Amino acid sequence: MLSKKFPKSHRSRLLLLSERIMALLILANVMLVIFDITYIKIRHWYLKIDLYLQTITDTPQKKYIQKVDKLQEELEKNGLESPIVENLLDDLRISSFEIFINRPPFKVIDNYGSLAKIRKIFTTHTGRESFSQAVQMFWDENYLETQGWQSQLEFFNRKIRPLILLYEPKLQYDLIKGIEPFRDSQNYLTAVSELNILLEKKDLEAEETERLLKELRGRSTQLIDKDYDFQIVNQIVVLTQIKYRIKQHIYSQIPDSNVSLTPTLQILQSLNLLQYLAPEILLADKSSKIAFNTFWSRQYLERYQWEEELDFFSKNIQFLMHSFYFRDLGKDGEFVDRFWLVDLPWMIIFWIEFIGRTLLISCRSNLSLWGAVKKRWYDVFLLQPWLPSLRIITVFIRLQKVKLPDMKHFYTNIRFQLIGSFAQEIIQVVVGGSINQLQNNISQGSLKKAIFESKNKSDQVDVDKNDHGNIQEIINNILEVTACRVLPEIYPDIEDFLRYQVEKSMQQLSIYRRLQKIPFLRRLPDKIANNLVIQISSTIARSPQKVYQTDVLPDPVSIKLRQQLVKQFTTKFLSELQDKQTFEEIEVLMINWLEEIKNSYVKPSNQTNLQPAETTIGKIIPTEVIELKAGDGSNIESR
């Protein structure tokens, strides 16, 4: 029924589609695993992105502050009697309920976050136990008229505004890792924000300014001297960076602060090179606590413009303060890691798919359940939560099986690159070494010993006639090849050569010139020469072949003469080779010839990458093998 309803090709496409969807799901899970593994190490980058997005985004906190600023502007122009003020106050009461009670946009909503501090300040200031009543009362027209709207807005700007605008360095994934902002650094930044707002409204001479500066000096000392718990995970690195930056900023502006330098270091410092070559030397004996106390002093801020100094703090110190974090411990004493909660839905999908796939393979292939599990062994890594990084193996195999993407071309390039990287070295080592060894043997006289010692041995000991190492047998084979194959092929060339030589010789004879003058005998010399040439060339090219023909009756005289010819040729040939000068010339020529081969074929190639298209398969693999492989293609496809 199913085969009629759904053709085989259609079912195959559906199966491939389901496999690809599952492979993509596994890939997404592996990416999530990689994100979880690397989250702690690169969390500061996520923090920078989040801080930047909050800076460019119009958040509910910013909108709330804009309404407060608009109210203050209207009160300063027209007072409480303005009809616009009543509308603004109504809007502020609604907005206060939204961002402080109904849908607070603050990231930290526990008892130590900005929202908890805002609620506590409002209730303490208004004397109300309920925060909703306190905030409604604060933005009431009668309350502002009774308490004085100037003092109330000053209180809001100094105490509430810094907390509303304070960036809380908590990301959504921090909950999975049990990460919380470090309270001391957040309180420090709150005081800095309060000081900044106060200096914008008043000057450095205000009494409240000195109180905040003193508080910041105390917090700086506490931050440096604090005995940090190991739960403040990154405190050492971050605190070291903070101390280095504040010391570099302060002591670079103080003259004669490097009097303890040696003359050589003073020269480098005068050339502004020491701060790049070894900046730690300049600050090695400097106190970071003194630097912070100097920075948070009225005299320093007056001398170097407090706007520029607070801008330096905002750009260079503030983010480092934000990056401090506290990490909770679980009941086992280890850091909290709730990744299993994120991974649980994925694990359920993987288990369902694995069980269904195992049963399907078992039914279709007549395998046992254990056999079906072994066939999909790589899926087992998806089913365990302890080493999720092993799922990379699974996703790699699954993507390869469904060709998503098709990695065939990639693997081919990798193989050829590996072959190309080793082939040249192998050729140089093996072939080059062999040629060098052969050259050394020739130069040491091994060739001469091999030829003449074998001759002497063959003269003393009977050698089997099937021994093709015998020089006489080699020469006999050469003569046979020459007589049976070479000479018949070059018969026309032999005939042309002989005709030219005969004609040239006859033209030098006086009788030939006299016969050319007789009318009836003019062509006689040419016929005689032509017949002579044909006879000689035929004798040279074709007669020796008859000696080796097996279908011709053996001629004992011819065989004896041929053997005698070979023997005499061998004897004379070796006798001439024994001449020292002749053999040395042959050795030099052979060594030079081998050197040319080595330089031509074993020299290093400038081409580093070997491409598949550049390889001629026919030169490497015999044609019969290629045809055999081509014939097996259909079988491979069917599998």
DSSP assignment of 460-487:
HS---TT-TTSHHHHHHHHHHHIIIIIH
Instruction: Give a yes or no: residue 399 inside a domain.
Output: no
Contacts of 255 (CB under 8 A, 6+ apart): none
- Alpha carbon 282 to its chain centroid, in Å, reads 39
| Whether residue 209 is found in the same domain as residue 307 | yes
| Whether residue 571 is found in the same domain as residue 442 | yes
| Whether residue 528 is found in the same domain as residue 581 | no
| Whether residue 196 is found in the same domain as residue 302 | yes
**What total of structural domains would you count in the chain?**
3
| Whether residue 314 is found in the same domain as residue 222 | yes
| Whether residue 205 is found in the same domain as residue 242 | yes
Can you give the pLDDT at residue 421? Answer: 67
Distance of alpha carbon 492 from alpha carbon 501, whole angstroms: 14
Q: Are 181 and 108 in contact (CB under 8 A)?
A: yes
Q: Are 401 and 19 in contact (CB under 8 A)?
A: yes
Distance of alpha carbon 206 from alpha carbon 190, whole angstroms: 19
Instruction: Give a yes or no: residue 78 inside a domain.
Output: no
pLDDT tens digit sequence for 40-55:
999 999 999 999 998 8
Q: Are 201 and 157 in contact (CB under 8 A)?
A: yes
Question: φ, ψ for residue 405 (rounded to 5)?
Answer: -80, 175
| Whether residue 544 is found in the same domain as residue 562 | no
Can you give the pLDDT at residue 595? Answer: 81
| Whether residue 298 is found in the same domain as residue 195 | yes
Instruction: Give a yes or no: residue 353 inside a domain.
Output: no
Can you give the pLDDT at residue 461? Answer: 44
Can you give the pLDDT at residue 578? Answer: 67
Q: Are 544 and 481 in contact (CB under 8 A)?
A: no
| Whether residue 532 is found in the same domain as residue 432 | no
**Which of 277, 302, 323 is the C-terminal boundary of a domain?**
323
| Whether residue 578 is found in the same domain as residue 479 | no
Instruction: Give a yes or no: residue 224 inside a domain.
Output: yes
Instruction: Give a yes or no: residue 432 inside a domain.
Output: yes
Instruction: Give a yes or no: residue 490 inside a domain.
Output: yes
| Whether residue 254 is found in the same domain as residue 267 | yes
Task: Count, in order, helices (H) and strands (E) of the chain.
Answer: 37, 2
Can you give the pLDDT at residue 424? Answer: 66
Nearest C-alpha neighbor of 402 from the set 25, 53, 131 = 25
Nearest C-alpha neighbor of 318 from the set 58, 106, 55, 68 = 55
Can you give the pLDDT at residue 45? Answer: 94
| Whether residue 257 is found in the same domain as residue 317 | yes
Distance of alpha carbon 456 from alpha carbon 381, whole angstroms: 74
**Which of 549, 565, 580 is the C-terminal boundary of a domain?**
549
Can you give the pLDDT at residue 37? Answer: 94
Residues of the chain scoring pLDDT < 50 = 1-4, 460-469, 607-608, 613-639
Question: Omega before 405 cis (within 30°)?
Answer: yes
Can you give the pLDDT at residue 8? Answer: 61
Adjacent-strand bridge partners of 327:
179
Helix (H) or strand (E) holding 344: helix 339-365
**Residues of the domain holding 439:** 422-446+553-598
Q: Give percent helix, percent strand, percent coil of the chain, each to the nearest 5.
A: 75, 0, 25
Instruction: Give a yes or no: residue 96 inside a domain.
Output: no
Instruction: Give a yes or no: residue 436 inside a domain.
Output: yes
**Which of 297, 323, 349 is the C-terminal boundary of a domain?**
323
Can you give the pLDDT at residue 633? Answer: 40
